[in-house]
Protein backbone atom coordinates (compact mmCIF):
# COMPACT_ATOMS: atom_id res chain seq x y z
CA UNK A 1 0.00 0.00 0.00
CA UNK A 2 1.24 3.52 -0.87
CA UNK A 3 0.88 6.39 1.62
CA UNK A 4 0.61 9.90 0.18
CA UNK A 5 3.01 12.27 1.94
CA UNK A 6 1.66 15.47 0.39
CA UNK A 7 3.96 17.43 -1.94
CA UNK A 8 7.14 16.30 -0.21
CA UNK A 9 10.43 16.71 -2.05
CA UNK A 10 12.28 13.40 -1.76
CA UNK A 11 15.03 14.12 -4.25
CA UNK A 12 17.74 13.20 -1.73
CA UNK A 13 20.49 12.41 -0.97
CA UNK A 14 22.27 15.34 -2.61
CA UNK A 15 25.96 16.21 -2.43
CA UNK A 16 26.77 18.85 0.17
CA UNK A 17 28.84 21.67 -1.30
CA UNK A 18 30.57 24.75 0.00
CA UNK A 19 29.85 27.72 -2.25
CA UNK A 20 32.56 30.36 -2.26
CA UNK A 21 32.24 34.02 -3.23
CA UNK A 22 33.78 37.35 -2.36
CA UNK A 23 31.52 39.57 -0.29
CA UNK A 24 32.83 43.11 0.17
CA UNK A 25 36.19 41.84 -1.11
CA UNK A 26 36.45 39.00 1.46
CA UNK A 27 35.89 35.25 0.87
CA UNK A 28 32.75 33.73 2.36
CA UNK A 29 31.75 30.06 2.24
CA UNK A 30 28.15 28.85 2.49
CA UNK A 31 26.88 25.26 2.69
CA UNK A 32 24.48 24.45 -0.13
CA UNK A 33 22.94 21.06 -0.92
CA UNK A 34 20.32 22.18 -3.42
CA UNK A 35 22.69 22.01 -6.34
CA UNK A 36 21.98 20.65 -9.79
CA UNK A 37 23.47 20.02 -13.20
CA UNK A 38 21.72 22.16 -15.83
CA UNK A 39 23.77 20.78 -18.70
CA UNK A 40 27.17 19.04 -18.46
CA UNK A 41 29.01 22.39 -18.36
CA UNK A 42 26.80 24.31 -15.98
CA UNK A 43 25.37 24.09 -12.47
CA UNK A 44 22.41 25.53 -10.58
CA UNK A 45 22.26 26.61 -6.95
CA UNK A 46 19.01 27.16 -5.03
CA UNK A 47 19.96 29.82 -2.49
CA UNK A 48 17.66 31.55 -0.01
CA UNK A 49 17.65 35.32 -0.52
CA UNK A 50 18.50 35.89 3.16
CA UNK A 51 22.03 34.54 2.71
CA UNK A 52 24.94 36.92 3.03
CA UNK A 53 26.81 35.33 0.12
CA UNK A 54 24.12 36.06 -2.52
CA UNK A 55 25.11 39.73 -2.83
CA UNK A 56 28.72 38.72 -3.50
CA UNK A 57 27.67 36.33 -6.28
CA UNK A 58 25.51 39.06 -7.87
CA UNK A 59 28.22 41.73 -7.62
CA UNK A 60 31.18 39.72 -8.96
CA UNK A 61 29.16 37.38 -11.22
CA UNK A 62 31.45 34.55 -10.09
CA UNK A 63 31.36 31.79 -7.46
CA UNK A 64 33.02 28.49 -6.68
CA UNK A 65 31.58 25.05 -5.91
CA UNK A 66 33.81 23.11 -3.51
CA UNK A 67 33.23 19.45 -2.62
CA UNK A 68 34.15 18.74 1.01
CA UNK A 69 34.96 15.21 2.13
CA UNK A 70 33.41 13.48 5.15
CA UNK A 71 36.54 14.55 7.10
CA UNK A 72 35.33 18.17 6.77
CA UNK A 73 31.82 17.48 8.09
CA UNK A 74 32.15 19.78 11.14
CA UNK A 75 33.44 22.72 9.08
CA UNK A 76 30.75 22.07 6.43
CA UNK A 77 27.96 21.99 9.00
CA UNK A 78 29.34 25.13 10.65
CA UNK A 79 29.26 27.02 7.32
CA UNK A 80 25.56 26.16 7.13
CA UNK A 81 24.84 27.15 10.72
CA UNK A 82 26.36 30.62 10.88
CA UNK A 83 26.23 33.57 8.50
CA UNK A 84 29.07 35.58 7.09
CA UNK A 85 27.10 38.62 8.27
CA UNK A 86 28.52 38.04 11.76
CA UNK A 87 31.26 35.41 11.34
CA UNK A 88 34.44 35.15 9.30
CA UNK A 89 34.08 31.64 7.88
CA UNK A 90 37.05 32.00 5.52
CA UNK A 91 39.52 31.62 8.40
CA UNK A 92 38.48 27.93 8.65
CA UNK A 93 40.15 27.19 5.32
CA UNK A 94 43.10 27.98 3.09
CA UNK A 95 41.74 29.98 0.13
CA UNK A 96 43.16 29.95 -3.39
CA UNK A 97 42.15 31.53 -6.70
CA UNK A 98 42.22 30.24 -10.27
CA UNK A 99 41.34 31.78 -13.65
CA UNK A 100 38.52 33.91 -12.27
CA UNK A 101 40.17 36.23 -9.80
CA UNK A 102 36.95 36.70 -7.80
CA UNK A 103 35.92 33.08 -7.09
CA UNK A 104 37.65 32.02 -3.85
CA UNK A 105 38.19 28.25 -3.56
CA UNK A 106 38.96 25.96 -0.61
CA UNK A 107 42.31 24.18 -0.71
CA UNK A 108 41.14 21.49 1.78
CA UNK A 109 38.34 20.38 -0.61
CA UNK A 110 39.62 17.89 -3.19
CA UNK A 111 37.43 19.26 -6.01
CA UNK A 112 36.82 22.91 -6.80
CA UNK A 113 34.87 24.32 -9.74
CA UNK A 114 35.17 28.01 -10.54
CA UNK A 115 32.03 29.33 -12.17
CA UNK A 116 30.83 32.40 -14.00
CA UNK A 117 27.26 33.49 -13.25
CA UNK A 118 25.26 33.32 -16.46
CA UNK A 119 21.71 33.68 -15.18
CA UNK A 120 19.80 34.37 -11.98
CA UNK A 121 16.23 33.12 -11.77
CA UNK A 122 14.20 35.15 -9.28
CA UNK A 123 12.01 32.87 -7.14
CA UNK A 124 9.93 34.36 -4.29
CA UNK A 125 12.36 33.32 -1.54
CA UNK A 126 15.31 32.00 -3.49
CA UNK A 127 17.87 33.15 -6.02
CA UNK A 128 18.51 30.33 -8.48
CA UNK A 129 22.05 30.98 -9.66
CA UNK A 130 23.11 29.27 -12.88
CA UNK A 131 26.84 29.22 -13.49
CA UNK A 132 29.09 28.06 -16.29
CA UNK A 133 32.06 26.00 -15.08
CA UNK A 134 35.20 27.80 -16.25
CA UNK A 135 37.78 25.49 -14.66
CA UNK A 136 37.82 22.50 -12.33
CA UNK A 137 40.69 21.89 -9.90
CA UNK A 138 41.30 18.51 -8.37
CA UNK A 139 43.73 16.96 -5.86
CA UNK A 140 45.74 14.30 -7.68
CA UNK A 141 45.14 12.00 -4.69
CA UNK A 142 41.46 11.55 -5.69
CA UNK A 143 42.21 10.47 -9.26
CA UNK A 144 42.34 6.88 -10.47
CA UNK A 145 43.89 6.59 -13.93
CA UNK A 146 43.18 10.28 -14.55
CA UNK A 147 39.46 10.10 -13.66
CA UNK A 148 37.85 11.53 -10.51
CA UNK A 149 37.25 8.58 -8.19
CA UNK A 150 34.35 9.39 -5.83
CA UNK A 151 35.34 6.59 -3.47
CA UNK A 152 38.46 8.69 -2.83
CA UNK A 153 36.58 12.03 -2.80
CA UNK A 154 34.25 10.75 -0.02
CA UNK A 155 31.57 13.40 -0.59
CA UNK A 156 29.13 14.30 2.19
CA UNK A 157 25.60 13.39 1.15
CA UNK A 158 22.71 15.32 2.67
CA UNK A 159 19.15 14.19 3.41
CA UNK A 160 16.72 16.95 4.38
CA UNK A 161 13.92 14.68 5.63
CA UNK A 162 15.75 13.85 8.89
CA UNK A 163 18.54 16.48 8.54
CA UNK A 164 21.33 13.93 8.28
CA UNK A 165 24.67 13.40 6.56
CA UNK A 166 25.50 10.18 4.77
CA UNK A 167 28.60 8.77 3.15
CA UNK A 168 28.80 7.19 -0.29
CA UNK A 169 27.96 3.51 -0.75
CA UNK A 170 29.52 1.05 -3.17
CA UNK A 171 29.64 1.14 -6.95
CA UNK A 172 27.45 -1.75 -8.08
CA UNK A 173 26.82 -1.57 -11.84
CA UNK A 174 28.05 0.05 -15.04
CA UNK A 175 25.85 2.80 -16.56
CA UNK A 176 24.68 2.59 -20.19
CA UNK A 177 25.66 -1.06 -19.96
CA UNK A 178 23.83 -3.19 -17.35
CA UNK A 179 20.48 -2.44 -19.02
CA UNK A 180 21.69 -4.03 -22.23
CA UNK A 181 20.92 -7.37 -20.61
CA UNK A 182 17.21 -6.56 -21.10
CA UNK A 183 17.62 -5.78 -24.79
CA UNK A 184 15.64 -8.16 -26.94
C1 LIG B 1 23.64 20.68 5.16
C2 LIG B 1 23.13 22.05 4.81
C3 LIG B 1 22.64 22.28 3.54
C4 LIG B 1 22.16 23.54 3.20
N5 LIG B 1 21.66 23.74 1.94
C6 LIG B 1 21.13 24.94 1.61
C7 LIG B 1 20.58 25.12 0.32
O8 LIG B 1 20.62 24.24 -0.54
N9 LIG B 1 20.03 26.34 0.02
C10 LIG B 1 19.98 27.35 0.94
O11 LIG B 1 19.47 28.44 0.63
N12 LIG B 1 20.54 27.21 2.18
C13 LIG B 1 21.11 26.03 2.53
N14 LIG B 1 21.66 25.85 3.79
C15 LIG B 1 21.65 26.97 4.75
C16 LIG B 1 22.83 27.95 4.62
O17 LIG B 1 24.05 27.25 4.45
C18 LIG B 1 22.95 28.83 5.90
O19 LIG B 1 21.77 29.57 6.09
C20 LIG B 1 24.19 29.71 5.95
O21 LIG B 1 24.38 30.11 7.29
C22 LIG B 1 24.12 30.96 5.08
O23 LIG B 1 25.40 31.57 5.13
P24 LIG B 1 25.72 33.05 4.63
O25 LIG B 1 24.69 33.97 5.26
O26 LIG B 1 27.13 33.32 5.14
O27 LIG B 1 25.63 33.08 3.14
C28 LIG B 1 22.17 24.61 4.15
C29 LIG B 1 22.68 24.36 5.44
C30 LIG B 1 23.15 23.10 5.76
C31 LIG B 1 23.70 22.84 7.15
Q: Is 149 left (phi over 0), alpha (psi -120 to 50) or beta?
A: beta
For a mutational test of ligand 1's pocket, the pick from 32, 43, 47, 59, i.e. the residue with the most ligand atoms closer than 8 A to its C-beta, is: 32
Tally of structural domains, the chain: 1
Q: Which atom of ligand 1 is nearest to the CA of 47?
A: 11
Residue ID of nearest Cα to ligand 1 atom 9: 47
CB 34 near ligand 1, within 6 Å: yes
CB 77 near ligand 1, within 6 Å: yes
Provide mean pLDDT across the span 26-42.
98
112-169 pLDDT, tens digit per residue, is 999 999 999 999 999 999 999 999 999 999 999 999 999 999 999 999 999 999 999 9
88-120 pLDDT, tens digit per residue, is 999 999 999 999 999 999 999 999 999 999 999
**Domain-located, residue 3:** no
**Domain-located, residue 124:** yes
CB 63 near ligand 1, within 6 Å: no
Tell me the pTM. 0.98
CATH number for the domain spanning 65: value is 2.30.110.10
Alpha-carbon distance of 157 to 129, in angstroms, equals 21
54-98 pLDDT, tens digit per residue, is 999 999 999 999 999 999 999 999 999 999 999 999 999 999 999
Residue ID of nearest Cα to ligand 1 atom 10: 47
CB 82 near ligand 1, within 6 Å: yes
**Domain-located, residue 98:** yes
Closest CA to 130 of 64, 38, 22: 38
**Domain-located, residue 57:** yes
**Domain-located, residue 31:** yes
CB 19 near ligand 1, within 6 Å: no
**Domain-located, residue 2:** no
**Domain-located, residue 4:** no
Number of H helices, E strands in the chain: 3, 14
**Domain-located, residue 5:** no
* Domain that residue 150 falls in: 14-182
Amino acid sequence: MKIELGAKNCLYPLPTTLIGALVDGKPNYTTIAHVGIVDPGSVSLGMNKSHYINAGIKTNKTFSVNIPSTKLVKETDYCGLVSGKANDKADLFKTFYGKLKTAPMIDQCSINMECELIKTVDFPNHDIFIGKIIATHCDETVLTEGVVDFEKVQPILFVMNDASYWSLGKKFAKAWSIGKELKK
